[in-house]
Amino acid sequence: YNQFYAAEALLREQGIESDSQATLTPASWLPATSDTIVVASSASLSTPTQLNELLGWVFSGGHLVVLPPMDDSDSDWLRDAFGMAFVELEDPEFAEDTSADADGEDDSPDADVDYLLQLGSTRYRIELTDAADATLSDDEGVVIARRGVQDGVITLVGSEYYFANGQLNEDDHAR
């Protein structure tokens, strides 16, 4: 099961080459530095050999997008290398959809937008040791942060929700 299949299919549909790897082992494989890697933070990426390879790739021009850990891994390696880390909200309150009124009409001010980012689905925030180049925040803190590092870019995104298939198991529903 590839939880990012929909995102991968959407990229291909847009003419952007896309591929999935079950695991990322920087010492064995990394794409060209003109590419982007989207990966969950994990302890395996913080081992010295893997981390040095990954840092070298980013510093040489790669764009690394890191999602929160899918296990109990910490993100100290991100703080040490890039000055950013994931912090889990102590009591995440996920937003309920209250935009439709009793007659089923959507009267919210956001009803006319093409895309609405649901920040309430994000249980991690990003801690920054220094200012980032760009951030997206809500009342709970920074949800997405981007920083240039040497010739590359690091982006932390507080939830895999924005890339994942959601409840889908196999089909391409990225359209």
pLDDT digits (tens, 9 = 90+) for 39-77: 888 877 878 888 899 999 999 999 999 999 877 777 788
State how far the alpha carbon of 137 is from the alpha carbons of 8, 98, 109, 140, in Å: 26, 21, 19, 8
Q: Report the 10 Å Cβ neighbour count for 82.
A: 23
- pLDDT at residue 111, as a whole number: 55
Q: Which residues of the chain have pLDDT under 50?
A: 95-104, 106-107, 167-175
- pLDDT at residue 159, as a whole number: 85
- pLDDT at residue 25, as a whole number: 84
Using a 10 angstrom Cβ sphere, with 0-12 exposed, 13-18 middle and 19 or more buried, the burial of residue 11 is middle
* Measured distance CA(66)–CA(51) in Å, rounded: 13
DSSP state of 80: H
What the block records as the tokens of 142 is: 């920074």
* Contact yes or no for 54/45 (Cβ under 8 A): yes
* Measured distance CA(17)–CA(146) in Å, rounded: 23
Task: For residue 141, give the amino acid letter.
Answer: G
Length of the chain: 175
The SS3 assignment for 27 reads coil
- pLDDT at residue 63, as a whole number: 94
- pLDDT at residue 169, as a whole number: 44
DSSP state of 162: G
Establish how many alpha carbons lie within 13 A of residue 164's alpha carbon, considering only the half-sphere containing its beta carbon. 18
Long-range contacts of 134-140 (CB under 8 A, 24+ apart): 140/89
